[in-house]
Amino acid sequence: MMPFTADRLILFGATGDLAQRMLLPSLCALDADDLLPPELRIVGTARSEMNDQGFRNFAREALETYLPANRRGSMADFLNRLHYQPLDATTLEGYEELARKVDGAGKGLAIFLSTAPSLFEPTIAGLAHAGLTGDNVRIGLEKPLGTDLASSKEINDAVASAFDESRIFRIDHYLGKETVQNLLALRFANIMFEPIWNANYIEHVQITVGETVGLESRVAYYDDSGALRDMVQNHMLQLLALVCMEPPTSFEATAVRDEKVKVLRALRPLTNADSVTGQYRAGAIGGTAVPGYDEELGKQSNTETFVALKAHVDNWRWNGVPFYMRTGKRLPERVTEIVVQFRCIPFSIFDGRGATTKPNRLVIGIQPKENIQLSLMAKLPGLDREGIRLRQVPLDIAMPDAFTGVHRRIAYERLLLDLIEGDQTLFVRRDEIEAQWEWIDAIRANWVENGATPKTYTAGSWGPTAAIALTERDGVSWHDE
């Protein structure tokens, strides 16, 4: 199939929260930088009744709220690209009107679904009914793609009935983040890292995704999902795959995704001792009192708001290296980071001089600060009459400082542009999704079999004490400083 750049874009769920906070601001910012095809026509659709002008007014409010003024460009030009068609996605009626509004598929059509997963199947049927699934149409799918392997397959089968894999773009917005992509550059563009990126030199790896927020507006979804399915199944396993993957033969979609799926298939099934779940209780975040999960929910629940795991990748490169992962709500900090802890030096020539050495550590900060920090041992200045003194010295690369004058882009800017242009490198393939679900389903089945229930932790803490014990029994401490 010939590649194409879309000159039509349909946004399903165009009046939703994601569209207001991310999609419309991202598209406007791309337009301001002249990165969108000049003829691109954007059609929003949702249940809400409004006309083109109403949608433009809605979009203007969203842009003024969520996009910095210096990134808006000529907002009027962008707003003129926008059109709107009301649609009940669950019935076939209305899809022909949507097709007319799109004004044919043009050179190519990109469709972005940011709707409830339950609407995916009827939406695909409606698109097919209206002739909007041809070879010059590609589709982007926002998570969650199912709640387990079976439901994920059902969704993927429905999409595959109308679109082949080369035209399906499954979005994980973490893969659009600059520092996540920088992880690949760090590993595969620098000779100093790749030779030591293995079990011989790395003792363990930590991946932390901390949120300070509670349920907010996601009450029903989150209580059905929980931290394992909401965060680990997608974002964290994708980060793990990027850390562990073998060097791909090129930076092309197939080559990169082939290596990621090998990692996901090499994940060892977890034992009951390798996972900890928690649920927050009333506490304080940043000095402000916050209610517990049960109070926010208004009832008792066994849904986990925190999970810590000790994983292993059973292959030659990573044999014996533990990967500690934790994520939770109402933690002390909003943070996403990867910590690579290197092994101790095999012999210290400084021991006889009273100096102690500490192993090197690489910290990759993904949010809210994008930075890379490498800790090295260095000698303190002095005449050393009382012995040599060594200290860890951080080498910091703060991304905004290293690349001054370059915009900090919203992750969705890259992903939407890649969808329009047809680059699948940063999107998730079906076999990746299914390998992730297979591993996650086994963990959940293990919890059920062992009658595991979440341990409570105080909001504003780093989770239940059992999460500390998970690492401490291996002589490891979580990177909390």
Written as tens digits, the pLDDT of the chain (481 aa) is 557 899 999 999 999 999 999 999 999 999 999 999 999 999 999 999 999 999 999 999 999 999 888 888 888 999 999 999 999 988 998 999 999 998 765 689 999 998 888 888 999 999 999 999 999 999 999 888 889 999 999 999 999 999 999 999 999 888 888 778 888 989 999 999 999 999 999 999 999 999 999 987 667 778 888 999 999 999 999 999 999 999 999 989 899 999 999 999 999 999 988 999 999 999 999 889 999 999 988 889 999 999 999 999 999 999 999 999 999 999 999 999 999 999 988 988 777 666 788 899 999 998 888 888 999 888 778 776 666 778 788 888 766 655 555 566 788 999 999 999 999 998 999 999 999 999 999 999 999 999 999 999 999 999 999 999 999 999 999 998 5
The CA-based diameter of the chain, rounded to the nearest angstrom, is 86
Pairing state of beta strands 288-290 and 283-285? antiparallel
3-state secondary structure of 392: strand
Indicate the helix (H) or strand (E) that contains 325. strand 322-328
Please tell me the CATH code under which domain 8-171 is placed: 3.40.50.720
Burial of 36 (0-12, 13-18, 19+ CB in 10 A): buried
Please indicate if the annotation marks 230 as binding a ligand: yes
Annotated catalytic, 235?
yes
Q: How far apart are CA 230 and CA 305, in angstroms?
A: 10
Please indicate if the annotation marks 107 as binding a ligand: no
Indicate the helix (H) or strand (E) that contains 465. helix 465-472
Please indicate if the annotation marks 432 as binding a ligand: no
For 108, phi then psi, to 5°, come to -170, 150
pTM: 0.91
Q: Is the peptide bond before 291 cis (omega within 30 degrees of 0)?
A: no
Please indicate if the annotation marks 329 as binding a ligand: yes
Q: Hey, what CATH class is 177-406+429-473 in? A: alpha beta
Answer for the pair 198, 168: CB distance below 8 angstroms, yes or no: no
| Residue extent(s) of CATH 3.30.360.10 domains in the chain | 177-406+429-473
* Set 83, 204, 235, 312: catalytic member: 235
Please indicate if the annotation marks 455 as binding a ligand: no
Please indicate if the annotation marks 177 as binding a ligand: yes
Q: How far apart are CA 240 and CA 365, in angstroms?
A: 14
| Residue extent(s) of CATH 3.40.50.720 domains in the chain | 8-171
Q: How far apart are CA 464 and CA 304, in angstroms?
A: 11
C-alpha closest to that of 431 among 423, 420, 421, 439: 439
